[in-house]
Amino acid sequence: MSVVIEARDVTFAFGQTPALRGATISVDTGEIVAIMGPSGSGKSTLLHCLAGILVPDSGEILFDGARVDAMDESRRSSLRRDRFGFVFQFGQLVPELTAVENVALPLLLGGVHRRQALPKASAWFARLGLDGLEQRRSGELSGGQAQRVALARGLVAEPQVLFADEPTGALDSLTGEQVMDLLVSAAREQGTTVVLVTHEARIAAYADREVMVRDGRVNAPERIAS
């Protein structure tokens, strides 16, 4: 396995409040890694640094060997659009768009014509048990349906890395497990690497490996040789 994304001795502070204190983690191609830790431990900050949303104060973020932290905002934005996918806790669907338009959004932003983007987005609805909901808006969807739409949006462009920040945090236990089943199976089929932030052990159990963040530092157990 080859490392696809990593953080090396990363620090980050919000004003005078340190969030990361020398965090180091590496994730292999196709691996599903769960980042765990108590509230305020720095786990979401670490994910945002890995994804190029935040720029660390020191240390390095590398994706496919390239220094993400050294890129300007335009290059990091292109990376997030073209190579990364995202699923957040509350879905963050665009309320003015239909469900299928929300799923197609990464393709449209990437320059795919609407005639090609909408059919590709529509194919995810049967796959995720959302048949018949393509034209609904976010206010007409249940929490579980909206999160599955968000999952489809995160995966439709076949990203190399999917970043999922508490993707089941707003869902009940059963719905959360259904979403995780779909996330894992879809990622495996596409060979997508997944970096998942959660505070729930039952959700982390879906991952290949768990790492713990405490006080801004990563406790990553050694990989088990296959």
Q: To which residue do tokens 């963050």 refer? A: 92
Q: How far is CA 205 from CA 161, 170, 193, 208, in A?
A: 19, 18, 16, 8
**How would you classify the pairing of strands 3-14 and 84-88?**
unpaired
* Segment 127-132 mean pLDDT: 89
Rounded CA-CA distance 39/145 in Å is 26
Q: How many helices (H) and strands (E) does the chain have?
A: 7, 10
Confidence (pTM): 0.91
Phi-psi region of 83 (alpha: psi -120 to 50; beta: other; left: phi over 0): alpha
Instruction: Provide the mean pLDDT of the chain.
Output: 91
Rounded CA-CA distance 18/10 in Å is 11
Q: Give residue-wise pLDDT tens across range 59-95.
A: 999 999 999 999 999 999 999 999 999 998 766 899 9
Assess contact for 22 and 58: CB atoms under 8 A: no
Does domain 3-217 fall under CATH 3.40.50.300? My reply is yes
pLDDT tier at 1 (50, 70, 90 boundaries)?
low
Q: Give residue-wise pLDDT tens across range 169-189.
A: 888 888 888 889 988 998 999
**How would you classify the pairing of strands 58-63 and 66-67?**
antiparallel
Residue 225 reports pLDDT greater than 60: no
pLDDT tier at 121 (50, 70, 90 boundaries)?
very high
Model pLDDT, residue 219:
83
Assess contact for 36 and 210: CB atoms under 8 A: yes
Residue 195, token pair as written in the block: 């970096």
Assess contact for 52 and 79: CB atoms under 8 A: yes
Q: At what angle do helices 99-109 and 143-155 cross, to 10 degrees?
A: 20
Model pLDDT, residue 214:
92
Q: Give residue-wise pLDDT tens across range 44-62.
A: 999 999 999 999 999 999 9
> In which element (H, E) is residue 114 found?
helix 114-127
Assess contact for 90 and 144: CB atoms under 8 A: no
